[in-house]
Amino acid sequence: MKNPYIKPRAKAAVRLCLDGFENGFDATKDESALSYKAASEYENFRVESGALTDGWGVEESDCLGGADNAVSAWEYVAEVGGEKKTTPMYCDADGYVHAVKDGTDKKLTAVRFSAPPIAVNYRLYGGDVVLICSGKDKMAVYDGDGIRSIDPSPKITSMALHYERLFVTTANEPDCVRFSDDLDPTNWAEGLDSGGFVTLSDGYGKCNKVVAFLNYVYVFRDFGISRMIAYADQTEFSVSNLYVSSGRIYSGSVTVCGDRIIFLASDGLYVFDGLSTTKILRRLGGLTEYKETATGAYFDGKYYLAYSKKGGENDSLLVYDISQKTAELSGGCSISSFFGAETLKAVCKNRAASITPCGAVFGTPTDKKWKVPYNALSRSDKIKKLNEICLETATDLKVAVLFDGRKRTYALKGKSGVQKIKVGISGRKIGLLLWTDCVGARVAEITALVSM
């Protein structure tokens, strides 16, 4: 018989504060083992400010003259009247190169490519040119007026300028690195006084990308990184292997980021300092199963990686702030390549785009999502009661409370100040899902009052 004079002990109330979002997305643990400050699902929010704000997206750029059929793009830089002048260029879906001068699109029909080309600027015989190459075609040279094909020349898949030679990987010779004549990257004759090649047949796989970094040429291969000491005299060239990878390295992601190189491998992201390799962003796991189309760029202290989440063409974007060590993920960004020196641009859905935290893709708002892990809050023996949720939101926002396999959704209107949701839901497992498709998002000061 219960004693009427003894009151039942009240459940202890705990206030869970989601402040900072510093843990970000965690794909390495089962959702049942995650802290409530990590996200078990996340997309299209920025987290760097400590609030959830508009994520990275793309806005249309007119730098290619409004072209909607670009497959790759680059910039031609030339000195005109003592000043540097930049001319945007692109290759269209039919394989023709275009130069956009002062807003006027000039189609160059003398050369036609059968694969999207890459390009690098060079000063050849006292004049500024851009070298244009692909893995299926001969090299071409644009000098500001016209374009011409170089015959003979290899079918180049990557290239790096180093000590006035052009070092390249090629489609037809995956086990070697070719290099041009000294002071002339259009001369591919072989000889001690011209160009040549270095064969790397040691079990580390194909030579996929060359990078000029810290006075060396680094060769990124299927399963390792090799370093070439390559000065002007080719008789002094030498090669050493620095890193053996347990998984495949994806060459499109390899990017020089100041004093380091960042790349994507089959088991995740790595940073290479010229000697050693360290895994980074471990919480992201392998990031994605589909890495073949991944492509990277570096700009303003951030590493940008476009990749495919569902297979096929790239549909997602990772932005990693190197100094802050924060990683932000966005979807819907169909970026096939990056270009630009003074500002970062991209080819997105065959159009030129600027990458900005605009929360939209070509004007269409992205779906922004943050999921507080659905689990037992490390107390599976306890029934929890979610009493209330408090938060700030600048735009309309939906908040779904997940509890014991069920869901209840609340719709909030954007306004200043803290809003309170009276909940009163109980369950052994509890989680939250916040999402919005509005531009101008800012979600902050999230707290949940839970009794258990």
Per-residue model confidence (pLDDT) at position 19: 81
- Of 322, 323, 278, nearest to 296 by C-alpha is 322
CA distance 225 to 228: 10
pLDDT digits (tens, 9 = 90+) for 414-432: 999 999 999 999 999 999 9
Least confident of 8-17, 226-235, 372-381: 8-17
Higher model confidence: residue 246 or residue 212?
212
pLDDT band at 21 (very low <50, low <70, confident <90, very high): confident
pLDDT digits (tens, 9 = 90+) for 350-379: 999 999 999 999 999 999 999 999 999 988
- Of 170, 165, 198, nearest to 183 by C-alpha is 165
Q: What is the mean pLDDT of residues 396-417?
A: 97
State both tokens at 319: 């932005």
pLDDT digits (tens, 9 = 90+) for 249-275: 999 999 999 999 999 999 999 999 999
- Of 137, 136, 132, 138, nearest to 120 by C-alpha is 132
CA distance 332 to 298: 20
Rounded alpha-carbon distances, angstroms, from residue 313 to 58, 266, 330: 16, 18, 15
**Per-residue burial over 302-338, b = 16 or more CB atoms within 10 Å of its CB, e = otherwise:** bbbbbbbbeeeebbbbbbbebeeebbbbbbbbbbbbb
DSSP structural state of residue 333? -
pLDDT digits (tens, 9 = 90+) for 208-223: 999 999 999 999 999 9
Per-residue model confidence (pLDDT) at position 8: 53
Q: What average pLDDT is seen over the chain?
A: 94
CA distance 180 to 134: 16
Per-residue model confidence (pLDDT) at position 121: 97
pLDDT band at 232 (very low <50, low <70, confident <90, very high): low
pLDDT(41) > 70:
yes
pTM score: 0.94
Burial environment of residue 278 by CB neighbours within 10 A (0 to 12, 13 to 18, 19 or more): exposed
Per-residue model confidence (pLDDT) at position 10: 54
CB-facing half-sphere around the CA of 82: CA atoms within 13 A: 0
Rounded alpha-carbon distances, angstroms, from residue 371 to 20, 34, 46, 246, 386: 15, 11, 14, 32, 16
Per-residue model confidence (pLDDT) at position 52: 97
Cis peptide, bond prior to residue 116, ω within 30 of zero: no
HEC secondary structure over 93-127: CCCEEEEEECCEEEEEEEEECCCCCEEEEEEECCE
Distance of CA 147 to the CA centre of its chain: 32
Q: Greatest CA separation found in the chain?
A: 104
CB-facing half-sphere around the CA of 298: CA atoms within 13 A: 13
CA distance 450 to 452: 7
pLDDT band at 231 (very low <50, low <70, confident <90, very high): confident
Asked whether 294 and 250 are in contact (CB, 8 A), the reply is yes
CA distance 24 to 323: 16
pLDDT digits (tens, 9 = 90+) for 276-328: 999 999 999 999 999 999 999 999 999 999 999 999 999 999 999 999 999 99
Rounded alpha-carbon distances, angstroms, from residue 249 to 203, 224, 311, 322, 427: 14, 7, 18, 20, 45
pLDDT band at 81 (very low <50, low <70, confident <90, very high): confident
Tally the residues of the chain: 452
